[in-house]
Structure 1
Amino acid sequence: MRHSLFALFLLCTAPVFAQDKPWPDILVDPSAKLHPAADLILPMACGGGMAFQRVNVPVNVESPLADRPFRMGQSDATTAFSDYLKPTYLRGAFDDVQAGVSYYYIARYEMNEAQYRAIKGECDGPFKPIESRAKGGLTWYEAVDLSRSYTEWLMQNARDTLPSQGDRTGFLRLPTEPEWEYAARGGAKADGSTFAARRFFSEGSLGDYAAYLAPGSGSKGLTVMGGRRKPNPIGLLDVYGNAEELMLEPFRLNAIGRTHGQPGGLVTRGGSVDLEDAQIYTAKRSEYPLFSSLSGQALAGEFFGLRMVLTAVVVSEDRYEKIRENWAAEADRPADAQADPLAALSALLDEEVDPRRREALSGLQLEFRVAREAAAESLFQAAKSTLLSGAAFVETINEGDREIDRLTRDSLALRDTIQLMSGTQRAEMMQTLVLNVDRLTGLRESLDTYLLSYRATLETLVSDVDQEVRERAYTSLAQDLAQAEQTQLLTMLNRFWSDLLVYVQRPDMGKGDLLQVAID
């Protein structure tokens, strides 16, 4: 449907496009024959187009200040100075009130050579399938200028095709690192294990998703035709390998969980066709100088490419008052946990000379203490309950894994036996094998569900409960279980506690690693 609308648009906008033949899918949305079509296709000069995917970012859309926290990076100490774990926040430029999400758009593919020609206005000569190859050799400045030129062309020739909201119209630019990484990991369509993992896929090999320097392949020094591999969870192609994608902001070190203060050179993400398997993963960040020390000109990396995002301004005339009012309301809220109300009351008591007011303040101080103690006790009990749930998940996951292992062995043995049988006996055994396979499928699906709940339990204890409270809750629960002679559950609790200590250090574990931790 998107492609039909795109073709109709080109036909209906004469004379601007009258001389331009619409491009074939291979130059616009080459994976559409195997996968769902792109969410949005914007027209280009020369009869071309560029495909985009919508990236949903769930937030409270009623508040313009609401954004979504997520964790960037990975826990590998080898490159931690560059891509260690750190918290960040994101919100899309547009709101879907009915769905309760904000969203932005990101190009489905890296910009190809045909699209580069179209933005440059080089419409002479035919556009060939080979020009679906990702465009490399850009400078950062050229990438910025390409997004400017394409936006200007759209504004002047096809403004109605740009997403808009209120008096805000979308425009194109380079992606920020949070925008790129959130989309590359799969955004809201990826479950917790997939989103946190080193790569966005758990099945298949890197070659199914990326053009890279495979063992023994040798580097041809060229990018490849885009869209020929499998997509990520939101439908993006060539996220890994092929061209390395230029980012909007400069490189900064990771200062042990936060962004360092010194800006540096340009950043690329996703790796390139010239990198090996171990060098390609979602959190990969590469820094290059903006200028070549040899030529003195802007650096044009051999594989520097571009994947644009479609976004909009934040503050506009129709949003100004709502933003200002929401900000003022947030600023006027009572002080949060960073301010100690008991300390403030103590200071007031020290300064108060009126006996009656001192007595009232003393009563208020007591009420605060009682409320604080009640809240602390509630959090403590909640931590114990969560730990108990974690212990139960460990037991369930281990039981499920053992049953899967048993059924797998039985099925393999049954398969070997069937090959020696014939007639009725063979048919009966085949029926048993089919039942075993169905049972295995159901068990694996259940195990995946338990692993998601298991990760959520670990994340809750790490993110919402202080270490001191966790440790007290664990000690108390272990004592309770020992007194009740719940030996098996105590064993599972101790195993879960060990898993929790591992998760604190490696919260970005993929599904396979998390399962291994649970069953070890």
Structure 2
Amino acid sequence: MAERRPSSLWGLLIGVALLAAAHPAIADDDPWPAEAYNPAPAEGDVVLPMPCGGAMAFRRVALPSTGVLDDVRVQFGDAQPELGFFSDRRYDVIAGAFGDPAVPGTRYFLIGKYEVTRAQWAALSGDACPDPGMRQRVPQTEISWFDVVSFANRYSQWLLAHARDALPAESGTPGFLRLPTEDEWEYAARGGMTVSSENFLAARFPMPEGAADYIWYQGTGSAEGRLHPVGLLKPNPLGLYDILGNAAEMMLESFRLNRRGRLHGQAGGFIARGGDYNTPLSQIRTGMRVEMPYYAAGAATATESRQLGFRLVVAAPVVTSPEKLTEIEKAWEAMPSSGEAPSTARREDAALGTLDRLADHAGDETVRTQLRDAGRSIREALVDRNDARDRTIRLLINVGALLGNKLRVDHQRLLAVQRAIEGVARPALRQLQARRQDPQIRKAIADAIARIGEMEGQRDGLEDTVKTSRETYVDTVLSTSSDYSDEVITAQLPALKAELHARGSDALLPYVDIFVQHMRRMRDNSAADPQSLIDDLTRGGGGAHGPPGPA
């Protein structure tokens, strides 16, 4: 037996070499071509490495945030009465996992730019490395929810062992990969902060070129009954491909029915979102939810489907360090505080302190419990009120900026019409009138007079518009500055500016700053002349580069 081992080993090595030649694999140090994992590269992509030289592309999903316990109240769901028990409109809250000092006023999480492909799945399977060609660029399907959870775990462990620095970190703690919650998925699928409220609540994100350019759905004009490689169509406003159609996508949590405005208490199977290549276009809506059983009916196996795939998110633990815990504790203690006028805050804090002391010294346990419950209820009500107040403040400042911009534009149009009348139309009329003896000129004079009349009507209309814009702007400055303190207003500015930037509304940012400075001026000097506010916005006449700063 010992004499035959070299021969057997040699034959085994030859067989392995022949097998490798017949099925070439990508070595760990031989990176995939970019089109294998990111066929449509774009600014802002976050690319994480994988085994076998592979990689996976992600996109940031930013959310407004002014503090560690801040979150965003969002309306999710779909307005389809016949399916309301599945996906009726409801409000929920969502927050980002990571902060970025370079982008104040926001936190973010990462979500897969594409659905996970067969090649990416195989790269973590433990078998031979895959050939990442076009056939392996289709979404990985025919896998169970449990398989996907295991895949995310393997990928997280591989990154922590081999590319820890590539992961975003929160307070020094690196992130990890998992399936998205359905609120994370729906917020990203709708376009997040990059779209207007109207477009966010629409059945599908904006598709200017038509649905067939964005979604693989049932029909000969689209999917034609099969999966397609990721990244061939156009993305949603956040740069996510195939978020609707192609393969439906698994969510992290279990399915719950809708109970008219909130989710029902019973948790069932897992959730699938987005529709697939066999779904009619009329049924593909961002808010639609489907329950999938964890286990196949009548079989002892986990549910798998050719239409069901997934994409991953990168998130982080909530309490990432002792320092972060201290920050959370301080934010928690401050949450019920009024934040309005200091005298109001002191009165509310004093009342709550008195209630706490009464509870601590109550001799009767029932009375003690009732006092503590009352204090907790009051604090919860204050938190709800403050959340609503903060949303209102951001909306009012946004409205103030829009009004300031409108006032400047209306004023510029008025000046342009006045210049056209006095500098062009009337001098031309006087020249014509000097030649009124010429019969051919009389009609031109009549036409010129009629045209001047039209221009004067336009001027009068613009004067009324400017007057209304001025009054509305000054009223908004006065009411907002009197209703809210500078402290709570200033706290909302980073989040509002981040939202405007995400929507491509940077042109409004100077008007935000001017509106806030005008509120401070009116608050600090209630006798300040409102005309000075108007002068700030209209100074410079027809300037084309935005408003001047307040004097």
| Residue of structure 2 aligned with 1:149, choices 150, 154, 158 | 154
Matches within 5 A, 1:147-186: 147-186=152-191
The structural deviation recorded for 1:219 is: 5.1
Contact 1:136 1:223 in 2 (8 A): no
* Partner SS for 1:51: strand
Question: 1:47/1:202 Cα in 2 relative to 1: closer, same or farther (>3 Å)?
Answer: closer
Question: 1:98/1:301 Cα in 2 relative to 1: closer, same or farther (>3 Å)?
Answer: same
Contact 1:144 1:174 in 2 (8 A): yes
The structural deviation recorded for 1:331 is: 4.6
Q: Distance in 1 between matches of 2:106 and 2:284?
A: 30
Pair member with larger Rg:
2
2:63 aligns with 57
Q: Distance in 1 between matches of 2:288 and 2:307?
A: 15
Contact 2:65 2:106 in 1 (8 A): yes
Identity %: 37
2:133 aligns with 128
* Partner SS for 1:229: coil
| Residue of structure 2 aligned with 1:239, choices 236, 243, 248 | 243
Moved more, 245-254 or 88-97: 88-97
The structural deviation recorded for 1:123 is: 3.4
* Partner SS for 2:245: coil
Question: 1:276/1:330 Cα in 2 relative to 1: closer, same or farther (>3 Å)?
Answer: same
* Partner SS for 2:326: helix
Question: 1:19/1:52 Cα in 2 relative to 1: closer, same or farther (>3 Å)?
Answer: closer
The structural deviation recorded for 1:217 is: 6.8
Q: Distance in 2 between matches of 1:253 and 1:129?
A: 39
Moved more, 152-161 or 295-304: 295-304
1:250 aligns with 2:257: no
* Partner SS for 1:240: coil
The structural deviation recorded for 1:37 is: 4.5
Deviations 1:99-156 (A, max 9, x none): 2110110000000000000121333453322111111112111111111010011011
Question: 1:313/1:321 Cα in 2 relative to 1: closer, same or farther (>3 Å)?
Answer: same
Q: Distance in 1 between matches of 2:222 and 2:288?
A: 22
1:24 aligns with 2:38: no
Question: 1:47/1:218 Cα in 2 relative to 1: closer, same or farther (>3 Å)?
Answer: closer
* Partner SS for 2:110: strand
The structural deviation recorded for 1:58 is: 1.0
1:309 aligns with 2:313: yes
Q: Distance in 2 between matches of 1:117 and 1:308?
A: 16
Q: Distance in 1 between matches of 2:334 and 2:107?
A: 21
Contact 1:74 1:85 in 2 (8 A): yes
1:210 aligns with 215
Q: In structure 1, what residue type is equivalent to 2:170?
A: Q
| Residue of structure 1 aligned with 2:53, choices 29, 47, 50 | 47
1:299 aligns with 2:303: yes
Q: Give unpaired runs (5+ residues) of structure 1.
A: 1-16, 336-340, 346-378, 394-520
Q: Distance in 2 between matches of 1:65 and 1:129?
A: 44
1:102 aligns with 2:107: yes
Length, aligned pairs only:
330
Q: Distance in 2 between matches of 1:172 and 1:71?
A: 26
The structural deviation recorded for 1:324 is: 1.2
Q: Distance in 2 between matches of 1:106 and 1:258?
A: 25
Q: In structure 2, what residue type is equivalent to 1:172?
A: L
The structural deviation recorded for 1:79 is: 1.3
2:386 aligns with none
Q: Distance in 2 between matches of 1:170 and 1:202?
A: 33
* Partner SS for 2:331: helix
The structural deviation recorded for 1:96 is: 2.3
The structural deviation recorded for 1:329 is: 2.2
The structural deviation recorded for 1:249 is: 0.5
Q: Distance in 2 between matches of 1:158 and 1:52?
A: 16
The structural deviation recorded for 1:27 is: 1.4
1:275 aligns with 279
Contact 1:46 1:121 in 2 (8 A): no
Contact 1:84 1:254 in 2 (8 A): yes
Contact 1:135 1:223 in 2 (8 A): no
* Partner SS for 1:286: strand
The structural deviation recorded for 1:205 is: 2.1
Contact 2:77 2:287 in 1 (8 A): yes
Q: Distance in 2 between matches of 1:19 and 1:296?
A: 37
* Partner SS for 1:184: helix
Q: Distance in 1 between matches of 2:325 and 2:292?
A: 38
Q: Distance in 2 between matches of 1:216 and 1:223?
A: 14
Q: Distance in 2 between matches of 1:110 and 1:153?
A: 20
Matches within 5 A, 1:314-463: 314-317=318-321, 318-331=323-336
| Residue of structure 2 aligned with 1:85, choices 81, 85, 89 | 89
Deviations 1:19-62 (A, max 9, x none): 44211122110122xxx2552000000110000001110111xx
Question: 1:181/1:216 Cα in 2 relative to 1: closer, same or farther (>3 Å)?
Answer: closer
Question: 1:19/1:70 Cα in 2 relative to 1: closer, same or farther (>3 Å)?
Answer: closer
Q: In structure 2, what residue type is equivalent to 1:144?
A: V
